[in-house]
Amino acid sequence: MSNQAEPAPALMPAQKAVTVYEELRSRILAGTLECGDWLRAEALADELGVSRTPIREAFRQLHADGLIEIVPNRGARVARISDEDLESTYELHALLEGYAARRAAEQDLADTERLAELCAEMERAQTSGAADRFDELTRLNLEFHGDIHRASGNVVLPGMIAGFAQRSLVRHTFATYTPAEIERALADHRVMTEAIAAGDSALAEAVMRSHVLSARATLRRQLSQLDTDENAS
């Protein structure tokens, strides 16, 4: 009997499309692909080692998800957001996140030691100077918020928030924050952690809502700069 490993089976076309979709979705949500970035099918096909057919299929699904937009005669790019959508998305996101923080403080289900550890890890990442520090900040931030969502004790809430978070996070990443904005965001995390640990539900909710709406202000600035850059080109 041969001990030689069997070669991995080739992916079927539908599987390739799913793999491409998941990779691009991950990049968009992580902020590696930012709001307004163009997605070049030919370059992506070369990079991912697939034909253009799975790329087009992935584009269709990403467009259906609202993560990219198809611009006639130009191609696909990471989705922009209208002023109206910006307001409504963040208002609802802030309400849900605030509710999650309030419930987490009331239910006493949160692992506040872990939340404090995540705060410290984000602070270290911020000052590390590493090339991937913004990716690390984004990852840790998602874990921090996810822990609060689960600590709310409401099994429906994490899924509800995920939809709004996807629409919000796709359009900004910590790479777009100013140093002062990052410091404020990380300080918010510390206050939220302390409020949840103390069972101060009103403070936890208020700080969380302010935290989410501050991200909206950052995005407004980013979109304004994108418009300026496009008008100048």
Residue 216: predicted pLDDT:
83
Q: How much is the average pLDDT of 85-96?
A: 86
- How far is residue 68's CA from residue 70's CA, in Å, rounded to a whole number? 7
Residue 1: is its pLDDT beyond 60?
Answer: no
Helix axis angle for 133-151 and 179-198, nearest 10°, is: 20
Contacts of 195 (CB under 8 A, 6+ apart): 101, 105, 201, 203, 204, 207
Could you give the percent of the chain with pLDDT greater than 70? 84
Q: Note whether 78 and 39 are within 8 A (CB).
A: yes
Residue 222: predicted pLDDT:
72
Q: How much is the average pLDDT of 15-23?
A: 90
- How far is residue 191's CA from residue 173's CA, in Å, rounded to a whole number? 21
The separation between CA 53 and the C-alpha centre of its own chain, rounded to angstroms, equals 27
Q: 7 or 161: whose pLDDT is higher?
A: 161
Q: How much is the average pLDDT of 163-177?
A: 64
Count of helices and strands (H, E) across the chain: 9, 3
Residue 154: is its pLDDT beyond 70?
Answer: yes
Residue 166: is its pLDDT beyond 70?
Answer: no
Residue 122: is its pLDDT beyond 50?
Answer: yes
Residue 29: predicted pLDDT:
72
Residue 138: predicted pLDDT:
85
Question: Would you place residue 57 in the very low, low, confident or very high pLDDT band (cuts 50, 70, 90)?
Answer: very high
Q: How much is the average pLDDT of 153-158?
A: 92
- Name the DSSP letter for residue 33: S
- How far is residue 134's CA from residue 138's CA, in Å, rounded to a whole number? 6
Q: Note whether 190 and 118 are within 8 A (CB).
A: no
pTM greater than 0.75: no
CB atoms within 10 A of CB 177: 21
- How far is residue 91's CA from residue 103's CA, in Å, rounded to a whole number? 18
- How far is residue 79's CA from residue 191's CA, in Å, rounded to a whole number? 33
Q: How much is the average pLDDT of 78-90?
A: 77
Question: Would you place residue 181 in the very low, low, confident or very high pLDDT band (cuts 50, 70, 90)?
Answer: very high
As beta bridge partners, residue 75 has 71
Amino acid letter for position 216 = R
Residue 13: predicted pLDDT:
63
Mean pLDDT of the chain: 85
Residue 7: is its pLDDT beyond 60?
Answer: no
As beta bridge partners, residue 69 has 77
Residue 183: is its pLDDT beyond 60?
Answer: yes
Task: Give the pair of three-digit tokens for residue 220.
Answer: 């407004």
pLDDT digits (tens, 9 = 90+) for 28-38: 876 678 777 89
Residue 179: is its pLDDT beyond 70?
Answer: yes
Residue 219: is its pLDDT beyond 80?
Answer: no
Residue 227: predicted pLDDT:
63
Q: 32 or 132: whose pLDDT is higher?
A: 132
